[in-house]
Amino acid sequence: MVAIFKSVILFLFASAIAAGASAQLAIDKLWIDFDEQRDTRGDLLLANESDERYYISVDPVEIVNPGTDEEERVSYSDPEELGLLVTPNRLILDPGQSRSLRVIRISGDMSRDRVYRVRIEPKVGEIRAEGFEAERAMVLKILTAYEVLVTSRPLNPSYELDSSRTEDAITLSNAGNSNALVYDAYLCPAGKEPGADDAACNKVSTRRLHPGNQWKIPIEEKSLQLHAKVKLRANDEEKSVVF
């Protein structure tokens, strides 16, 4: 006896590391960075590593006021207004099949970054359960959905990190027109440096600072210094800073 049941779907969202789950949908990268006005196209490679057919939907949105308390997602029906075209927005992938998504920047002159998330969500059809317990069975299907970060930079992009200090915090702000990644950050006593003095230093989280963002880092002692590395683009040479 065969009964047909709707599946219970649990979606896992990946937005930091490109790694496809075993026997799932795989994607080759999770960040597209359009550099200035020279880059207008980027491709994402999707691969179906499961044994089922996937029906995939693709939904791009703009992130307004990124990195702030006022951050929100805005959808546009018109790609011209969005400033981004992702094609196709629907596709079918059979087991073992792969296909590219094309991401095209169509925004005009900008004074600062525009930031997007492209949600890539797989779905499956109905699931069959067989045997004596079929009528009481519930099938759990775990699928992985992805959110790809897309940054569109203005002409002559640059960051400008400023710092201010109080008794209990160091605050970084980006007064430039483009986002920068602050990473490998440590709080160290005066005269100490990370690497040689790791035991004396405390690791600080990585943070992407968009234009206008502020990052307040609590400190236990006013004399502590922040050592960090900064990059504008993924392939740029890193810059070491101390605040």
- The domain locations on the chain are 2-152, 161-242
Q: What is the pLDDT of residue 135?
A: 56
Q: What is the pLDDT of residue 238?
A: 87
Whole-structure pTM value: 0.77
Q: What is the pLDDT of residue 235?
A: 76
Q: What is the pLDDT of residue 123?
A: 87
Q: What is the CATH T-level fold of the domain 2-152, as seen in this structure?
A: Immunoglobulin-like (2.60.40)
Classify 172 in phi/psi space as left (phi over 0), alpha (psi -120 to 50) or beta.
Answer: beta
Q: What is the pLDDT of residue 162?
A: 94
Q: What is the pLDDT of residue 242?
A: 94
Which parts of the chain register pLDDT below 70?
1-23, 36-39, 126-142, 197
Q: Among the CATH numbers 3.50.50.60, 2.40.110.10, 2.60.40.3970, 3.40.640.10, which is that of 161-242?
A: 2.60.40.3970
Q: What is the pLDDT of residue 50?
A: 87
Identical topology for domains 2-152 and 161-242: yes
